[in-house]
């Protein structure tokens, strides 16, 4: 990971800067971050109806130290399931409207509940597009001819004694086509052992392959701009 003396909000996402996210977290009340996580469904089952589905884990603290607040903002101190994460990205793809998950297609879609202002989610999704563009940490998640909005991540695993160990979980999650999202996808690699373990290196190429196949199989119209026109 590189050192960046100054980053914009887009740059923080594009470079996956834990330091940048920590500064943002420490500049706001911790309850605001907790409420945002809960609004997107963390800490609760998705309601899909799968037997034994985990609700994940949201911490309940009376006191939050600065280290706790900083690391909580980039994914430590809580547990989420891939299904919860997929629901979050589907909500981003719905520009802030959370809809119930279903194994079968619901047509027409249910109304859903707005959990975030549309303008904010549009801005976040636009920032996420930069992750899969040149200079982004998820460039390997790019899909030819399509715009994708993605985020990569890497987290240490917890051992039997409850302490962090030198094993990792890498993920890449996103939506496509970014101009009018139709699909959300989460790729999780548990303890990758082929050298690199970062999400941008190991799970991003899998995301690219699967999402590309789905978009082409479903005959989704490409929305990608010529490389020379991208900004």
* Rounded Cα–Cα distance for residues 6 and 182 (Å): 34
Q: Looking at the domain assignment, is residue 2 inside a domain?
A: no
Q: What is the pLDDT of residues 196-217, one digit of tens each?
A: 899 999 999 999 999 999 999 9
Confirm whether 183 is domain-assigned: yes
**Domain presence at residue 188:** yes
Using one digit for the tens of pLDDT, what is the confidence trace for 33-72?
999 999 999 999 998 888 899 999 999 888 999 999 999 9
Q: What is the CATH number for 97?
A: 3.40.710.10
Buried b (16+ CB within 10 A) or exposed e, 142-175: bbeebbbbbbbbbeeeeeeeeeeeeebbbbbbbb
208 CB-near residues (< 8 Å, 6+ apart): 140, 141, 142, 143
pLDDT for the residue numbered 85 = 96
Q: Is residue 26 predicted with pLDDT exceeding 80?
A: yes
Distance CA 122, CA 141 (A): 20
Number of domains in the chain: 1
Q: What percent of the chain lies above the pLDDT cut of 70?
A: 95
Residue pair 167/191 in contact (Cβ under 8 Å)? The answer is yes
Which tokens sit at 131? 């992750």
Contact 179, 95 (CB under 8 A): no
Q: Is residue 77 part of a domain?
A: yes
Residue 40 lies in a domain: yes
pLDDT of residue 4: 64
Return d(Cα 151, Cα 98) in angstroms, integer: 19
pLDDT digits (tens, 9 = 90+) for 166-197: 899 999 999 999 999 999 999 999 998 877 89
Domain enclosing residue 56, as ranges: 10-220
In a domain, 200, yes or no: yes
pLDDT score of 3 more than 80: no
Quote the strand ranges of the chain, DSSP E: 97-98, 113-114, 149-158, 164-176, 183-190
Identify which of 144, 151, 152 has the alpha carbon closest to the alpha carbon of residue 223: 144
Q: What is the pLDDT of residues 132-178, one digit of tens each?
A: 999 999 999 999 999 999 999 999 888 899 888 989 999 999 999 99
């Amino acid at each position: 990971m590189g050192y960046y003396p100054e980053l914009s909000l887009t740059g923080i996402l594009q470079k996956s800067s834990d330091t940048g996210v920590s500064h943002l977290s420490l500049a706001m009340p911790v309850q605001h971050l907790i409420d945002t996580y809960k609004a997107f469904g963390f800490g609760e089952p998705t309601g899909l109806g799968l037997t034994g589905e985990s609700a994940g884990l949201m911490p309940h603290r009376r006191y939050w130290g600065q280290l706790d607040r900083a690391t909580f903002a980039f994914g430590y101190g809580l547990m989420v399931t891939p299904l919860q994460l997929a629901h979050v990205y589907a909500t981003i793809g719905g520009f802030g409207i959370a809809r119930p998950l279903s194994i079968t297609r619901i047509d027409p879609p249910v109304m859903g509940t707005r959990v975030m202002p549309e303008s904010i989610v549009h801005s976040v999704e636009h920032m996420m597009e930069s992750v899969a563009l040149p200079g982004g940490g998820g460039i390997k998640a790019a899909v030819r001819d399509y715009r994708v909005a993605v985020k990569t991540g890497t987290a240490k695993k917890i051992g039997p004694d409850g302490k962090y160990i030198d094993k990792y979980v890498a993920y890449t999650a996103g939506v496509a086509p970014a101009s009018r999202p139709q699909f959300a996808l989460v790729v999780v690699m548990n303890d990758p052992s082929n050298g690199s373990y970062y999400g941008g290196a190991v799970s991003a190429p899998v995301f690219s392959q699967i999402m590309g196949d789905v978009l082409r199989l479903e005959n989704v119209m490409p929305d990608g701009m010529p490389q020379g026109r991208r900004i």
